[in-house]
């Protein structure tokens, strides 16, 4: 899984001979660009009988990778970053690729790249298989950075299908999606099964959106962008005292998804941070010892995923979001939805929707419903087979 760009190849073509095409940071301003670079490429084979391979490539500065790795290692992998967590993304992709293939695009591995002259010692360590785990890899990166050698960490995945956002947009241009209720229903059902399977692995995604669900042939869906992913279970919820036992993981970092899909409980925490002018929630929470007081700063990650899935359902069926943000203080449409008891049966904008669909989404949106909901049971809802 870990290699050097000097030694890595696919279809007999070395990485250094690939043509990388930049994927622009759509939606990010020039003054607030992502720290990583993303590319796509198609690696053709020297053998005419072997198919070409389409790849998605994410390049991250080694200095950022090392900083994130050290933080995660110090906190046993349970430190929530207020930024894209590339180390957790790589770990999640490698884990899913090995033990649960099909949930995410195929993961080819992690590469070390030195923009400067290749370091023979680094290349030798890869060639001899000495760098065979993340700890050794990180130690090597630290050594290179101490020598003032610039470096990048590269993650390589299969470039699978297209994201649902683009798929639906293209279908609308063709005039063949808006009224195709059976296709919409198929996408909803497959996405529910996909998230259910992900949760059964013990992972939450925390950035479910039309942009991060990929669609291939025959409506086969896969998840991408695991930079916000987190474990569903833990023995180390630091805001809960008592005997260590397996619990649902609760995070203190509310900025986890795209604005329209962020759950209400996360908006509540955001407002607390703004009111108290909290810039570093982890450091701030060290000073609070009262357990009841601490609870208001945390949210359940699996419940957050369920809410995002419900909003994704709304986006697909409605051809758009209904409200801009699930924040009743700042969004009039969502405030009206809350006044309706967060019940789509009572909400005028969904009056003509199928009752069964309303029932399904109603189980995904209100927190008290989500907390009791089994996604596996929701997959058995009779609407899916009607």
Torsion, Cα 269 274 279 285, to 10 degrees, reads -50
Average pLDDT of the chain to the nearest whole number = 89
pLDDT at position 131, please? 58
What is the CB neighbour count within 10 angstroms for residue 335? 14
pLDDT at position 117, please? 58
Q: With bands split at pLDDT 50, 70 and 90, how would you rate the model's confidence at 128? A: very low
Q: Kindly state the DSSP code that residue 181 receives in the 8-state scheme.
A: H
pLDDT at position 65, please? 95
pLDDT of residue 370 exceeding 90: yes
pLDDT at position 240, please? 57
Nearest to 221 by CA among 199, 249, 188: 188
pLDDT of residue 129 exceeding 50: no
pLDDT at position 288, please? 87
Task: Compute the average pLDDT of residues 258-281.
Answer: 96
How many helices and strands (H and E) does the chain possess?
A: 14, 17
Q: With bands split at pLDDT 50, 70 and 90, how would you rate the model's confidence at 292? A: confident
Structure tokens given for 342 = 């967060």
User: H/E element holding 222?
Assistant: strand 221-223
Task: Compute the average pLDDT of residues 216-239.
Answer: 89
pLDDT digits (tens, 9 = 90+) for 165-220: 999 999 888 877 767 899 999 999 999 999 999 999 999 999 999 999 999 999 99
SS3 7: coil
pLDDT digits (tens, 9 = 90+) for 203-215: 999 999 999 999 9
CB-facing half-sphere around the CA of 271: CA atoms within 13 A? 12
Who has greater pLDDT, 316 or 82? 316
Considering the segment(s) 162-385 as one domain, its CATH architecture is Orthogonal Bundle (1.10)
Q: With bands split at pLDDT 50, 70 and 90, how would you rate the model's confidence at 321? A: very high
Structure tokens given for 379 = 């997959």
Contact yes or no for 205/103 (Cβ under 8 A):
no
pLDDT of residue 120 exceeding 60: no
* Residue 105 CA, distance from chain mean position: 13
pLDDT at position 29, please? 37
Domain residue spans in the chain?
Answer: 2-158, 162-385
pLDDT at position 25, please? 65
Between 122-136, 226-240, 302-316, 320-334, the lowest mean confidence (pLDDT) is in 122-136
Q: With bands split at pLDDT 50, 70 and 90, how would you rate the model's confidence at 239? A: low
| DSSP secondary structure string for all residues of 246-267 | -EE-EES----S-GGG--HHHH
The Cα–Cα gap between 51 and 42 comes to: 10
The Cα–Cα gap between 274 and 290 comes to: 21
Phi, psi (degrees; rounded to nearest 5) at 308: -60, -40
* Residue 180 CA, distance from chain mean position: 28
């Amino acid at each position: 899984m870990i290699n050097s760009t000097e030694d890595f190849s696919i279809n007999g073509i070395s990485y250094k001979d690939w043509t990388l095409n930049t994927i622009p940071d759509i939606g990010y301003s020039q003054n607030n660009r992502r720290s990583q670079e993303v590319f796509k490429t198609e690696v053709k084979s020297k053998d005419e009988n072997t198919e070409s391979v389409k790849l998605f490539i994410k390049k991250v500065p080694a200095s950022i990778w090392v900083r994130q790795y050290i933080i995660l290692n110090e906190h046993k992998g349970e430190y929530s970053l207020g930024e894209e967590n590339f180390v957790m993304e790589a770990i999640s992709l490698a884990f899913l690729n090995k033990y649960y293939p099909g949930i995410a695009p195929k993961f080819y591995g992690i590469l070390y790249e030195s923009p400067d002259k290749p370091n023979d010692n680094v290349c030798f360590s890869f060639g001899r298989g000495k760098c065979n785990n993340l700890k050794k890899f990180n130690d090597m990166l630290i050594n290179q950075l101490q020598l003032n050698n610039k470096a990048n960490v590269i993650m390589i995945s299969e470039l699978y299908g297209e994201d649902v956002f683009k798929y639906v947009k293209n279908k609308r241009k063709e005039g063949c999606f808006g009224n195709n209720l059976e296709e919409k229903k198929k996408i909803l059902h497959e996405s529910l099964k996909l998230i259910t399977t992900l949760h059964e692995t013990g992972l939450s995604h925390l950035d479910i959106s039309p942009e991060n669900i990929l669609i291939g042939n025959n409506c086969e869906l896969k998840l991408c962008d695991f930079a916000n992913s987190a474990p569903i279970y833990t023995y180390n919820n630091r805001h809960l005292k008592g005997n260590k036992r397996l619990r649902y993981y609760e995070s203190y970092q509310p900025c986890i998804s795209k604005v329209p899909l962020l759950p209400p409980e996360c908006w509540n925490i955001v407002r607390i941070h703004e009111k108290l002018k909290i810039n570093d929630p982890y450091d701030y929470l060290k000073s609070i010892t009262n357990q009841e007081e601490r609870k208001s700063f945390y949210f359940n990650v699996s419940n957050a995923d369920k809410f995002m899935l419900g909003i994704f359902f709304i986006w697909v069926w409605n051809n758009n979001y209904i409200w801009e943000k699930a924040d009743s203080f700042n969004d009039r449409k969502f405030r009206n939805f809350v006044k309706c008891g967060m019940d789509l049966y009572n909400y005028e904008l969904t009056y003509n929707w199928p009752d069964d669909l309303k029932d399904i989404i109603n189980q995904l949106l209100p927190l008290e419903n989500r907390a009791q909901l089994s996604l596996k049971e929701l997959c058995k809802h009779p609407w899916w087979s009607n």
